[in-house]
Amino acid sequence: MIDYMVQKVQIIKHGFSIIEFVYTREEVDAVLQIIEKADTSKDTFRQSNDLFAIRQFLKELPDVLPVLLNDRLKNLISSLFGENYFIVKSIYFDKPSGYNWYVAYHQDLTISVDQKRELPGFGPWTVKQNQFAVQPPISILENNFTIRIHLDDTTEENGALKVIPGSHRKGLYRPETIDWSSETEVNCIVPGGGVMIMKPLLLHSSGRTTNNKKRRVVHIEFSATELPEGLQWSERINL
């Protein structure tokens, strides 16, 4: 039984929470089987020796939707955040065994949209795989949340996220200004089938793999904000 009040307090105070047993082993295997059959020749697929990623994951592999958006996840979202949220971005990450892929501390400061428009508070702009990304007003980021669905057991040895609790409440927080005399680092250990919920402004990093085990994660971002002046979320999927 999930104590949603405890989880909600953790997200508000610390910027993240971990919930186990959201997916069964059979559901995880079903998602992995769909991924294994995917056509990796498209621009949204990024493959190298140390990383395999699928951008616009839910659009590229829609067969995973009924598995990932199960009743447990939908109930979790409505209980913690309400009924008005929708999906705005999705990425699949595979950190292959045996490679040292390290990501330094950062905040998730951009959103994916359908076009470039010069709007107050929006910028700078970038383009990745023919998709526009922009840093929006901070109020939008403060309202959003991310769910990371773990398809493998994730520990310190295979690249679990490290986070700085409470950093999401400090606005734009540049990593080079972290005061380690006052901040605490936490390793986010998540079992396969579990999820980590986090706020975009939470400072987080990803450690190197040292145990030769995979760390496969589906990263899904949610929002309840309608964008201004005709700008649209490029990956919007209603729940």
Question: Which domains, from first to last, does the chain contain?
Answer: 4-238 (2.60.120.620)
Q: At what angle do helices 4-14 and 71-81 cross, to 10 degrees?
A: 60
Mean pLDDT across the chain, nearest whole number? 92
The whole-angstrom separation of Cα 224 and Cα 217 is 23
**188/210: higher pLDDT:** 188
Q: What residue ranges in the chain does DSSP mark as E strands?
A: 16-19, 45-48, 51-55, 86-95, 103-106, 111-113, 125-128, 131-134, 145-150, 161-163, 186-187, 195-198, 204-206, 215-223, 237-238
HSE, CB side, 13 Å, CA atoms: give it for residue 200: 23
For the segment 97-141, what is each residue's pLDDT rounded down to a tens digit?
Answer: 655 568 899 999 999 999 999 999 999 999 977 789 999 999 999
Residue carrying the six token digits 């951009």: 110
The CA distance from 159 to 215, in Å, is 7
Q: How far apart are alpha carbons 235 and 232 in whole angstroms?
A: 9
Radius of gyration, alpha carbons of the chain: 17
- Which tens digit of pLDDT belongs to each residue from 195-233? 999 999 999 999 877 788 888 999 999 999 999 999 999
pLDDT at 51: 52
